[in-house]
Amino acid sequence: MKKKIFIPVIAVVIGISTVSFKSDFFEIAKQIEIFTELFKELNMNYVDETNPAELMDSAIEGMLADLDPYTKYWTEQEVEDAKINRSGDYSGIGATVRNQDGKMTITEPRKGYPADKAGLKAGDEIIKIGDITVADVDGDAGDLLKGAPNSEVVITYKRQGKMDKATIKRSAVEIDAVPFSKLINGDTGYIVLTKFNKKASSQVKEALVSLKTDGATKIILDLRGNGGGLLSEAINICNLFLPKGSLITTTKSVVKKYNKTYTTSQEPVDTEIPLVVLVNGRSASASEIVSGGLQDYDRAVVVGARTFGKGLVQRPKPLTYGTSVKITISRYYTPSGRCIQALDYWNRDENGNAVRTDAADYNEFKTKNGRKVLDGGGVLPDIQVSSAKLSPVTTALLKDNAIFEYATDYYYNHQYSDMSEFSWSQADFADFKSFLNRTGFKYETGTEKAFAKALEQADKDDLKTEVSAAYSQLTNAITLAKEKSIDDRQDEIENLLIDEIVKRYFYRDGLYEYQIINNVEVKEALAVLADKNRYNKILNN
């Protein structure tokens, strides 16, 4: 018997479309009416029984797929998750997990929280939560780990091929925006900001004031790996270092009400203290507003690698039944007028991927002191550090979780009780390459994709026989070049490997303590702050 269903979910489509009503009400109303009729007829008459919710999810995903990846439909649970991310507080086991291909893996147990106290480690695969098998869950099984404080949950997990269980008592979990700050060398304050939640500006201010009280006369603000968050917190953090009334960002949209300027509204903490901001390719959104704004005012020297280049602002819009849609409403521009968006989502290649803005198309802007800065591809640091970059092979290693998996393997084959015992050698890197061979790591370059497509066309043109030998030679050359690329990018790969390994033994605090002494970007930040002439020359050149 086929299902005859009412369609309250059409309200979702109407809600998603509301912003566009401004341009052509009739056309939108017409398309919604067509969709409503199609959806009804499909569910009532299709040869097999359909699932209306799944069909609607697919329709929504398909509609949003042609836009940017930040415009997303949120289920009721995803709305709650977003609230947690913004607030920084929730109740659960205190561990971050990765859900991929039907598997849930602990990526980081937070020190002192329930998962850590129960002995769970990064790399543990959670098989069951209570009586529920993770692989059978349709949706985010990680939500099952959350619950009221002091409630218990039994977790069945697999570690190094062996099954085990742990009974965990949930507790309140606080996610600090600033997990670490410290005075280095007696005069340099180091502040790590990992996210822009509601605590971000207050915690940065608290750390800044405390470090100055302890004797800091220079500051390093570390935004590496910070994917962003609340725009208001980015403005407030800039306000700590810039005068009241300073323009930080302008947002521009086809919807006039979203055209806004954001300025600092409070008295600053310190507008003179020498400042370095650390960034890399995973610094995005609010991180780019802060680094780009401080760079445009010549208030800080930016060190590291080019940032991600997001350049887009989202706002959640509530829909019916507790759902929501997060819509990209505008682009933001730095004080000098730069839009640092790196990917053009309206112009895509033959594979449907957004096209990256070509460096030849970047536009030149001027900082407050007249320095040249460019738009189009993220915030380019004043001092670039090669090991901070993410090359295609490194990105592939991260995407494949090869660095994470090797760190797990390394942890169970090496034991350290103190950070001073840890060392990394060329032999360790050679072992990592052997690990990649053993586990079958492979990645496809853009060149390979292009050549494969050319061979397909040659086949259609009856030229495959003639070009096959040349194609084979080319693919062999590419294979050798790919193997060499791992050696060529050893520094950047080793940075990520060491960070992941150190965190396994000594948690995040240990990682930051290690970086203060050993990390190349931190060393460069300390060096430029120690050289007043060089610092001033960069900001006035």
How far is Cα 122 from Cα 145, in angstroms, rounded to an integer? Answer: 16
> What is the reported pLDDT for 79?
83
pLDDT digits (tens, 9 = 90+) for 49-88: 889 988 888 898 888 988 888 999 988 888 887 877 777 6
Helices 52-65 and 25-45, packing angle to 10 deg: 140
Among candidate residues 50, 18, 43, 67, the one with its CA nearest the CA of residue 320: 18
Confidence of residue 19 (pLDDT cuts 50, 70, 90): very low
Query: Rounded to an integer, what is the distance from CA 273 to the centroid of its chain?
Result: 30
> What is the reported pLDDT for 3?
40
pLDDT digits (tens, 9 = 90+) for 154-204: 999 999 999 999 999 999 998 899 999 999 999 999 999 999 999 999 999
Instruction: Please give the angle made by the CA atoms of 174, 107 and 130, to the nearest 5 degrees.
Output: 80
> What is the reported pLDDT for 182?
98
> What is the reported pLDDT for 23?
55
More confident residue, 460 or 521: 521
> What is the reported pLDDT for 351?
67
Look at residue 330 and tell me whether its pLDDT is greater than 80: yes
> What is the reported pLDDT for 445?
75
Look at residue 16 and tell me whether its pLDDT is greater than 50: no
Rounded average pLDDT over 299-311: 95
For residue 360, what is the DSSP state?
G
Rounded average pLDDT over 428-442: 93
Confidence of residue 518 (pLDDT cuts 50, 70, 90): very high
Among candidate residues 24, 64, 62, 61, the one with its CA nearest the CA of residue 314: 64
Look at residue 1 and tell me whether its pLDDT is greater than 70: no
pLDDT digits (tens, 9 = 90+) for 233-244: 999 999 999 999
How far is Cα 344 from Cα 89, in angstroms, rounded to an integer? Answer: 35
CB-based contacts of 160, cutoff 8 Å, min separation 6: 412
How far is Cα 313 from Cα 293, in angstroms, rounded to an integer? Answer: 16
Look at residue 257 and tell me whether its pLDDT is greater than 50: yes
> What is the reported pLDDT for 346?
73
> What is the reported pLDDT for 210?
98
How far is Cα 445 from Cα 442, in angstroms, rounded to an integer? Answer: 10
Among 257-266, 389-398, 400-409, 509-518, where is mean pLDDT lowest?
389-398
> What is the reported pLDDT for 350?
67
Confidence of residue 96 (pLDDT cuts 50, 70, 90): very high
State what percent of residues in the chain have pLDDT above 90: 64
Is residue 240 within 8 A of residue 208, CB to CB? The reply is yes
Is residue 74 within 8 A of residue 316, CB to CB? The reply is yes
> What is the reported pLDDT for 493?
95
Average pLDDT of the residues of the chain: 89
> What is the reported pLDDT for 366?
96
pLDDT digits (tens, 9 = 90+) for 258-300: 999 999 999 999 999 999 999 999 999 999 999 999 999 999 9
Count of CA atoms in the C-beta half-sphere (13 A) of 230: 19
Confidence of residue 7 (pLDDT cuts 50, 70, 90): very low
How far is Cα 278 from Cα 65, in angstroms, rounded to an integer? Answer: 33
pLDDT digits (tens, 9 = 90+) for 118-142: 999 999 999 999 999 999 887 778 8
Confidence of residue 4 (pLDDT cuts 50, 70, 90): very low
pLDDT digits (tens, 9 = 90+) for 136-164: 887 778 888 999 999 999 999 999 999 99
Rounded average pLDDT over 467-482: 80
